[in-house]
């Protein structure tokens, strides 16, 4: 028998249902891979006993014929999702001892569907970063690395690496400015950031509340659709979660894309765009054209301002969201003579450099006298960015762009370390989607000359994940990307 960890979720479900394999076998195979892959540093906490317990229940359910939607699927969980009784740290020193007494809605939905948790996955501290290098638990190594250790992307770097290295059947991610899509592209896997409001944010440690969305990261498009079916849905505990019905996203897979209008934004093809990325993009356009889709040139004129807007709004919200980490009710405490000293000592020693940088920027842009110049201005440009997409979707059904302007880069890359803005520029193709609240998926389209995965991004209208999935599935067939 082939390696069980090669199976997609869809394949594994069918194999378990037909009793060809058991959930326990499948889970053990992933636990083994997890142990073998420790060099990648993808997991910050392994919970094999939890996964095995779930597998036991799953096998009973299969035996009784009462299996649930994702019965017996072992997953890794980004360490930003609070998991009841399982340490959750956001990969920050400030709460590296925190054991939530509650379960996030998304992980609860997965548990209710029969998923088992293999452990908690590494990430950039509080999801702030694009390379997983800001984690208190150290960087994650991209499983595609050859002679030099490469980053897996970020912030969901542990999730992407774990899926790529088959250390879990799939993983949860969160995406505030590209944190699902960019690591998915760097690690040659598929990930979707759903429309803002599709998945509940309850129990996910907040980075930037108006941008954060949870989503699945998996081996292929179909697995993402299966997972999103379970993860999405209205939650009365999150006032920003949508009441819209969640369709069965797998239904559209395999449907014809003929006549579908694919928007190609000219602004995503700036002077000096990486040639290999550009070629991969052209290849993807050609594939869809070949299938009878109509290619439409569109314009998203405010694209270049998306990053500055993002780097005002996200730090502003983060500066407030991270105020609760003060050493009083949970987490690490560094004592002080007075309450103020306790706050300052705890936060100064508890947060890492990038997090503190963003808290400072966010505090500044909200402070008296600057609020209008920065925050209100950013919100206005955010409106223009959203309008750009509204206008573009008058002309097309889905937008195709590269996911990232680069392939995976080495850990400790000097240009990024020296200038945080260079790191921020990695999000250039992904952030505007968060600002507009739209769904977007990244899937691998091929390899660069260095043999590294390149990702394509499909952006849909709000709450039209179906068109995104349908188009992605078609591209996936044609690209025939070979996973590790």
Partner 1 sequence: MAVDSKTVQKVALLAKLKVDDDKVEATKDEFNKILKWIEQLDEVETQGVEPLVSVNEEHLVCREDKVTDGNIKDEILANAPESEFGYFAVPKVVE
Partner 2 sequence: MADFIIETPKGKWELVCGLEIHCQIVSKSKIFSGASTEFGDDANVNVSFIDAGMPGMLPVLNKECVRQAVKTGLGLNAVINKYSVFSRKNYFYADSPQGYQITQFEYPIVGEGKITVDLSDGTSKDIRIERMHIEQDAAKSIHDINPKKSYVDFNRCGVGLMEIVTKPDFRSPEEVGAFLKKLRSIVRYLGTCDGNMDEGSMRCDASISVRPLGSNELRERAEVKNVNSVKFAMQAVEYEAKRQVELYENGETLKQQTCRFNPATGETKFLRFKEFSDDYRYFPEPDLPPLVLDDAFIEEIRNNLVELPDAKKARFVKELGLTPYDASVLCENKETADFFEEAAKGRDAKKVANWIMGDFFAMLNAKKLPLEKSPISAEKLGRLVDLISKNVINGKTAKDVFAIMAETSQEPEAIVEEKGWKQVTDTSAIEAIVDEVLQSNPDNVAAYKGGKNNLLGWFVGQVMKQSKGTANPAIVNQLLKQKLG
Rule CB under 8 A: say whether 19 interacts with partner 2.
Answer: no
Q: Report in angstroms how near the CB of residue 122 gets to partner 1 at its nearest.
A: 21
Q: Which is nearer to partner 1, 5 or 134 (CB)?
A: 134
Q: How far apart are CA 27 and CA 460, in angstroms?
A: 34
The binder of partner 2 chosen from 341, 371, 415, 482 (CB under 8 A): 371
- Report the candidate in 440, 429, 375 with the shortest Cα–Cα distance to residue 402: 429
Residue among 327 and 453 whose Cβ is closer to partner 1: 327
Cα–Cα distance measured from residue 171 to residue 79, given in angstroms and rounded to the nearest whole number: 11
Q: Which of 49, 271, 368, 372 binds partner 2 (CB under 8 A)?
A: 368
Query: Counting Cβ atoms within 10 Å, is residue 478 exposed (0-12), middle (13-18) or buried (19+)?
Result: middle
Contact call for residue 97 and partner 2 (CB under 8 A)? no
What contacts 277, CB < 8 A, 6 or more positions away?
402, 404, 405, 406, 407, 454
Element (H, E) at 118: strand 116-121
Q: Helix, strand, coil % (nearest 5) of the chain?
A: 45, 15, 40
205 binds, among partner 2, partner 1, none (CB under 5 to 8 A by kind): partner 2
Minimum CB distance to partner 2 smaller for 64 or for 243: 243
Q: Which of partner 1, partner 2, none binds 90 (CB below 5-8 Å, type-dependent)?
A: partner 2
Integer Cα distance of 184 and 190 in angstroms:
6
446 near partner 2, rule: CB under 8 A: no
- Nearest residue (CB) to partner 1, 145 versus 299: 299
Does 207 sit near partner 2 (CB under 8 A)?
A: no
Q: Give Cα 118 distance to the centre of its chain.
A: 18
* Residue 304's binding partner out of partner 2, partner 1, none, with CB under 5 to 8 Å set by partner kind: partner 1
Cα–Cα distance for residue pair 260/154, rounded to 1 Å: 32
Site for partner 2 in 385-414 (CB under 8 A): none
Residues known to be catalytic: 78, 155, 179
Q: Is residue 90 a contact point for partner 2 (CB under 8 A)?
A: yes
Distance (Å, whole) CA 443 – CA 461: 18
| Sheet hosting strand 43-46, strand order edge to edge | 43-46, 116-121, 74-78, 170-175, 213-218, 190-193, 440-447, 453-460, 398-402, 261-265, 294-298
CB of 131 to partner 1, least distance (A): 18
Q: What are phi and psi of 453, to 5 degrees?
A: -65, 145
CB of 237 vs partner 2, minimal distance in Å: 6
Segment 251-310, which members bind partner 2 (CB under 8 A)? Answer: none
Site residues (CB under 8 A) for partner 2? 81-82, 88, 90, 95, 98, 100-102, 104, 201-206, 208-210, 236-240, 316-317, 319-320, 322-326, 328-330, 339-340, 343, 363, 366-368, 371, 375
């Amino acid at each position: 028998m082939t390696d069980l960890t090669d199976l997609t979720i869809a394949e594994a479900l069918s194999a378990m249902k037909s009793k060809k394999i058991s959930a326990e076998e499948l889970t053990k195979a992933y636990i083994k891979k997890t142990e073998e892959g420790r060099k990648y540093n993808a997991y910050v906490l392994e919970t094999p006993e939890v996964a095995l317990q779930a597998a036991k229940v799953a096998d009973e359910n299969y035996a009784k014929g009462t299996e649930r939607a994702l019965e017996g699927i072992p997953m890794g969980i980004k360490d930003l999702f609070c998991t009841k009784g399982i340490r959750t740290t956001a990969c920050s020193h400030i709460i590296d001892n925190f054991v939530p007494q509650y379960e996030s809605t998304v992980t609860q939905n997965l548990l209710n569907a029969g998923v088992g948790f293999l452990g908690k996955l590494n990430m950039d501290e509080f999801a702030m970063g694009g390379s997983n290098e800001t984690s208190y638990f150290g960087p994650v190594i991209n499983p595609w690395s050859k002679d030099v250790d490469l980053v897996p992307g970020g912030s969901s770097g542990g999730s992407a690496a774990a899926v790529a290295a088959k250390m879990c059947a799939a993983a949860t991610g969160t995406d505030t400015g590209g944190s699902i899509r960019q690591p998915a592209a760097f690690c040659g896997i598929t990930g979707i950031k759903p429309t803002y409001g599709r998945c509940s944010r309850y129990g996910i440690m907040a980075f930037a509340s108006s941008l954060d969305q949870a989503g699945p990261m998996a081996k292929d498009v179909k697995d993402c659709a299966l997972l999103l079916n379970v993860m999405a849905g209205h939650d009365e505990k999150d006032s920003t979660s949508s009441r819209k019905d969640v369709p069965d996203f797998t239904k559209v897979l395999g449907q014809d894309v003929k006549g579908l209008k694919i928007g190609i934004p000219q602004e995503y093809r700036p002077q000096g765009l990486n040639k290999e990325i550009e070629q991969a993009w052209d290849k993807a356009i050609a594939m869809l054209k070949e299938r009878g889709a109509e290619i439409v040139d569109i314009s998203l004129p405010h694209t270049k301002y998306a990053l500055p807007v993002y780097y005002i709004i996200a730090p502003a919200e983060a500066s407030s969201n991270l105020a609760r980490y003060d050493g009083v009710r949970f987490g690490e405490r560094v004592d002080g003579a007075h309450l103020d000293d306790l706050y300052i000592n705890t936060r100064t020693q508890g947060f890492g450099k990038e997090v503190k940088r963003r808290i400072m920027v966010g505090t500044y842009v909200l402070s008296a006298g600057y609020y209008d110049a920065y925050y209100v201005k950013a919100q206005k440009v955010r409106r223009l960015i959203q309008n750009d997409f509204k206008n573009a979707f008058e002309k097309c059904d889905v937008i195709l762009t590269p996911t990232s302007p680069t392939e995976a880069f080495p850990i400790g890359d000097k240009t990024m370390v020296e200038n945080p803005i260079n790191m921020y520029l990695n999000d250039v193709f992904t952030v505007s989607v968060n600002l507009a609240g739209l769904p977007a998926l990244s899937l691998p389209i091929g390899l660069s000359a260095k043999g590294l995965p390149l990702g394509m991004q499909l952006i849909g209208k709000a709450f039209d994940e179906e068109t995104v999935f349908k188009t992605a599935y078609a591209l996936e067939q044609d690209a025939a990307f070979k996973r590790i």
